[in-house]
Amino acid sequence: MTNNKAVKAWLDEMIALTTPDKVVWIDGSEEQKQALYAESVADGEMIKLNEEKLPGCYLHRTAPNDVARVEDRTFICTSKKEDAGPTNNWEAPAVMYEKLNKLFKGSMKGRTMYVIPYMMGPYGSPFSKIGIELTDSRYVVLNMEIMTRVGTKVMEELGDSDDFVRCLHAVKDVDPENRYIVHFPEDNTIMSVNSAYGGNVLLGKKCFALRIASHMGHREGWMAEHMLILGLENPQGEVKYVAAAFPSACGKTNLAMLIPPAALKGYKVWTVGDDIAWMRIGEDGRLWAVNPEAGFFGVAPGTSTKTNPNALATTMKNTIFTNVFHNTEDNTVWWEGLDGEAPEKGIDWQGRPWTRDNGEKGAHPNSRFTAPAAQCPCISSEFENPQGVPISAIIFGGRRAKTAPLVYESFDWQHGVFVGATMASETTAAAAGKVGVVRRDPMAMIPFCGYNMADYFAHWLEMGKKIPNPPKIFHVNWFRQDDEGHFMWPGFGDNLRVLNWILARCAGEADAKETEIGYLPNASDINIEGLDIDKDVLEQLLTVDKKVWLEDVEGQKEFFAKFGDDLPAAIKEELAALEGRLSK
């Protein structure tokens, strides 16, 4: 299938290691894809859903012990431990290769190896990079066909170059004790074994487009970030782009597709990306971004016609649903938070009979849809633009029941990097482990930074010096709660009210008050026309509680202490300055 010597040599080596019965190249054709779906259905790996209501849609269930990313089984294997840093699991490459080679040995015996050449980023773009994933999972192939650009065209783009990321995945027996998601950034290599779930196995996504790519970006002077990209069109028809980093299951897909509230007529949001942004400095001195992905791997629960109608519309055809509820009445799907009443009965995410009142979740909290971006009703006209889009504002945010106000603006780039570096958020079901625990998650990259995070902060600071017209940096929190545990801000479409303030600040057209943590809007600076919110509540959302913030500073210090002398001086400076302002 190829004359590329580097590809052939690597492929031969991996075939010798895993000994598949058959090797099938993925060409990207519709016929091959349909044949694979048909085989998956025949094997019971996928359930074909109602062709009338959900054409081209399928349901897949993973093993109950394999439903989220596994951060404690994820490794960055650089030759020096300090290059992986204190926030990543590390093992010496030679030791890890030996361990993995044992696990992969004969792992595809009796199975088919699929060879998936894929491109991250638009065709013909200076941003784009190529990977080849070898996998024995049809589920992976069919998801990669949606999430990335795959097939023969990619091999043509690669030509005889050896510049591709080598990705090997084997399902084995999904044994959690021997599950490994391993990155060798110095070798452009990723190896994943004993999982068959999403981010652990769709190696173009978090593994390549964030962990490996962040390492590349550090070396090559660009940025790979866990960010959505959206274009906000105002009533005059002008579009401005923002990129926003929120941790997993904290609202990127929702913000990227938001529908403006009725009172704000004439605004429109265009989606460029919902999870990952690759950003470079453009010739005009601004920061430009592309979405390297071609689809959305979105959280299903909570998605409804009220919260995210655009996501829902995107999933109405050609979509793979993973670990959602199977409504056997009409052979469709359901999840908690979807419109209307729950179905009376059906099959839950574990494949067990379920009734409305049995007290169990029908869909797993991290159940997902995989849908082609091109099907999104609000997909941006710039989605395939090889040059990307110019970014006016960068927004950081997380789930904070307390502490963080609705929105604030950093004083400048350096302070903005500090704001990103001190991000914290409550954990969610997107990763295995406890949910709802506040943890520090700088730039929403703690699970995804492919090198020492102290060097990552330094890279951000360095980029700021190199961008003649850098975006302004903001922080938002849609998840503040009152004493009864209710969300104080309506969120979703109404988040546009905050985006509008942000873009007005970028244009120098909005007021703010200077506080210890940055510039905050006055309550009167946020347009609440048509919104049923107490003035008091809005005031509370826009107040800085110095005592609570000083407690947070202690948490920041504790986190930064991990990095020892590697922590950039500018971050230490900002920390001392913040503490000084709060203590006054």
331 binding ligand GTP? (CB under 6 A): no
Which residue from 60, 61, 69, 399 is in contact with ligand SPV, where contact means CB under 6 A? 69
3-state secondary structure of 287: strand
Which residue from 144, 276, 289, 430 is in contact with ligand GTP, where contact means CB under 6 A? 430
Q: Are 278 and 290 in contact (CB under 8 A)?
A: yes
Check 250, 376, 378, 449 and give the catalytic one. Answer: 250
Which residue from 33, 61, 149, 206 is in contact with ligand SPV, where contact means CB under 6 A? 206
Q: Which stretch binds ligand GTP (CB under 6 A): 19-27, 37-45, 100-108, 242-250?
A: 242-250
275 binding Mn ion? (CB under 5 A): yes
Which residue from 77, 119, 249, 443 is in contact with ligand GTP, where contact means CB under 6 A? 249
Q: What tokens does 569 get?
A: 């001086």
307 binds, among ligand GTP, Mn ion, ligand SPV, none (CB under 5 to 8 A by kind): ligand GTP
Q: Which stretch binds ligand SPV (CB under 6 A): 20-28, 88-96, 198-206, 311-319?
A: 198-206
Which residue from 85, 93, 121, 198 is in contact with ligand SPV, where contact means CB under 6 A? 198
Q: Where are the alpha helices (DSSP H) in 422-545?
A: 453-466, 496-506, 535-541
Residue 282: partners with Cβ closer than 8 Å, 6 or more residues away: 288, 387, 388, 390
Dihedral pair phi/psi, residue 557, rounded to 5°: -60, -45
274 binding Mn ion? (CB under 5 A): no
The nearest distance, CB 374 to Mn ion, in angstroms, is 20
Is 449 an active-site residue? no
Looking at residues 214 to 253 of the shown chain, list those that interact with ligand SPV (rule: CB under 6 A).
Answer: 248
Instruction: Say if strands 74-76 and 180-184 run parallel, antiparallel, or are unpaired.
Output: parallel
3-state secondary structure of 573: helix
The nearest distance, CB 116 to ligand SPV, in angstroms, is 16
430 binding ligand SPV? (CB under 6 A): yes
492 binding ligand GTP? (CB under 6 A): yes
Q: What tokens does 70 get?
A: 């596994």
d(CA 50, CA 54): 5
The DSSP call for residue 86 is T
252 binding ligand GTP? (CB under 6 A): yes
Q: What is the maximum span of the chain, computed from C-alpha positions, in angstroms?
A: 71
The DSSP call for residue 522 is -
Q: Which of 225, 46, 211 is nearest to 143 (CA)?
A: 46
Q: Where are the alpha helices (DSSP H) in 234-278?
A: 252-256
199 binding ligand SPV? (CB under 6 A): yes
487 binding ligand GTP? (CB under 6 A): yes
Residue placing its CB nearer to ligand SPV in the complex, 272 or 430? 430
559 binds, among ligand SPV, ligand GTP, Mn ion, none (CB under 5 to 8 A by kind): none
Which helix H or strand E contains 58, and what residues bound it? strand 58-60
Cross-strand pairs, 244: 228, 395
Which residue from 2, 128, 189, 253 is in contact with ligand GTP, where contact means CB under 6 A? 253
62 binding ligand SPV? (CB under 6 A): no
Q: Which stretch binds Mn ion (CB under 5 A): 128-136, 161-169, 248-256, 412-420?
A: 248-256
Residue placing its CB nearer to ligand GTP in the complex, 77 or 445? 445
d(CA 247, CA 250): 6
Q: Which of 72, 60, 121 is nearest to 431 (CA)?
A: 72
275 binding ligand GTP? (CB under 6 A): yes
275 binding ligand SPV? (CB under 6 A): yes
The nearest distance, CB 238 to ligand SPV, in angstroms, is 30
The nearest distance, CB 439 to ligand SPV, in angstroms, is 14
Which residue from 33, 205, 240, 475 is in contact with ligand SPV, where contact means CB under 6 A? 205
Q: What tokens does 561 get?
A: 């202490």
d(CA 461, CA 66): 37
Angle at 476 (CA atoms; ends 377, 127), nearest 5 degrees: 55
Residue placing its CB nearer to ligand GTP in the complex, 299 or 320? 299
Residue placing its CB nearer to ligand SPV in the complex, 198 or 362? 198
**HSE on the CB side for 479, CA within 13 Å?**
18
Dihedral pair phi/psi, residue 136, rounded to 5°: -105, 20
198 binds, among ligand GTP, Mn ion, ligand SPV, none (CB under 5 to 8 A by kind): ligand SPV
Q: Give, in order, the Cα–Cα distances in Å from 10 to each of 60, 154, 167.
A: 31, 17, 10
The nearest distance, CB 210 to ligand SPV, in angstroms, is 9
Dihedral pair phi/psi, residue 419, rounded to 5°: -60, -45
Residue placing its CB nearer to Mn ion in the complex, 18 or 253? 253
Residue 62 identity: T
Q: Which residues bind ligand SPV (CB under 6 A)?
A: 69, 198-199, 205-206, 248, 275, 297, 430
Q: Which residues bind ligand GTP (CB under 6 A)?
A: 246, 248-254, 274-275, 298-299, 301-302, 307, 430, 478-479, 487, 491-492, 495
Catalytic residues: 250
